[in-house]
Amino acid sequence: MATTESDGEEEGKLVGNQNLVIDEHLREMAKKAAWSVSSCKPGNGVLALRDDNLDTYWQSDGAQPHLVNIQFQKKVRLQLLVLYVDFKLDESYTPSKISVRAGDGFHNLKEIKTVELVKPIGWVYISLSGTDPREAFINTFMLQLAVLSNHLNGRDTHVRQIKIYGPRPNPIPHQPFEFTSREFITYSSVR
């Protein structure tokens, strides 16, 4: 259903999924970040992106590209970006082309994915990993989502929710194996 390419050279086409389904090995990283947007209508700012309410939305107010900036205090591992958009409700406000960029800050952002959305309704999953299977995640201080264009040549955009996921850390530092049961974890280290 969806394919994406890394390094921003080729585009993947995505449609939405009504249910948010996340693997157990991932955890949401958004609470550790400082969020900002390039512009917004009053009452439709950053808080609407993070309130877990699909009836509210961020609405941009200005020239494209519309940006969502997610900055972390320390370098984090990120694996998945998930956003909720609804073409039926938002029509020309629905993003059609998105660029995902990562870097240490505004000065050195590099495009890692370009994604085309085809009348999406629901959760859209954007993998942040590269084409190499050994690159299951990215290490970054900052992630930027840029809405490059909207459906029906709309000017402003609506994004209802954004979530970011990274791999769960191994509960035992410097342990090469991941133990799953509490009994194994209890006896996994020597005192």
Give tens-digit pLDDT for 144-174: 999 999 999 999 999 999 999 998 876 666 6
Parent domain of 98: 11-186
Confidence of residue 183 (pLDDT cuts 50, 70, 90): confident
Q: Domain total for the chain? A: 1
Residue 28 lies in a domain: yes
Residue 1 lies in a domain: no
CA 175, 177, 182, 187 torsion: positive or negative? negative
Residue 60 lies in a domain: yes
Q: How far apart are CA 39 and CA 61, in angstroms?
A: 5
Residue 2 lies in a domain: no
Identify whether the C-beta of residue 153 lies closer than 8 Å to the C-beta of residue 57.
Answer: no
Q: Provide the whole-model pTM.
A: 0.78
Residue 191 lies in a domain: no
Identify whether the C-beta of residue 178 lies closer than 8 Å to the C-beta of residue 167.
Answer: no
Residue 4 lies in a domain: no
Q: How far apart are CA 90 and CA 93, in angstroms?
A: 5
Q: What is the mean pLDDT of residues 19-30?
A: 87
Residue 93 lies in a domain: yes
Give residue 23's pLDDT. Answer: 84
Confidence of residue 11 (pLDDT cuts 50, 70, 90): very low
Considering 6-20, 55-69, 123-137, the range whose residues carry the highest mean pLDDT is 55-69
What average pLDDT does the chain have? 85
Give residue 131's pLDDT. Answer: 62
Q: What is the mean pLDDT of residues 112-138?
A: 85
Residue 17 lies in a domain: yes
pLDDT at 47 over 90: yes
Q: Which pair of structure tokens corresponds to residue 62?
A: 């200005």
- β-pair partners for 78: 138
Q: Can you give the CATH number for the domain in which 141 is found?
A: 2.60.120.260
